[in-house]
Amino acid sequence: MLQTILDWISMTTVTLSEQYGVNPVIFGALYFGTMPLFALSVAWWIRSFRRGESTLLPAAMTGVLFIAAYLYVLVAGRNLPAWVYLFMAAMLILGGISTWMQLKKGRASAQT
């Protein structure tokens, strides 16, 4: 049964990859590969704020790392269904809220 599920996932991934022009390996590498860098950039952003330094570069780096995988889908993808755009928007909004709350907590701890 597990082999059947893995075969279905493999077939679906290849089919969707060919249909929409998005390589799932590249997407996965961007998505999971940027996570540690994203965490480091958030820490850099908070540290810069605490030190009273400019937060422009850390904020920009955090933003680029946050949207890298989704940007790849928007650039490489073709004929994507509307639900994909809605899903990406929801993921970006929820992730943005989570990141903002994390930064707010970091700023609050810096001011105490």
The model's pLDDT over 21-36, given as tens digits with 9 standing for 90+, comes to 888 889 889 999 999 9
Query: What's the predicted TM-score (pTM) here?
Result: 0.70
pLDDT of residue 110: 67
Site of tokens 């590969």:
33
Query: 22 by DSSP, 3-state: which?
Result: coil
Q: Residues 6 or more apart from 92 whose CB is under 8 A from it?
A: 66, 67, 70
Average pLDDT over residues 1-22: 82
pLDDT in tens, 43-88: 998 899 889 999 899 999 999 999 998 899 889 988 888 988 899 8
Two structure tokens written together for 39: 């965490």
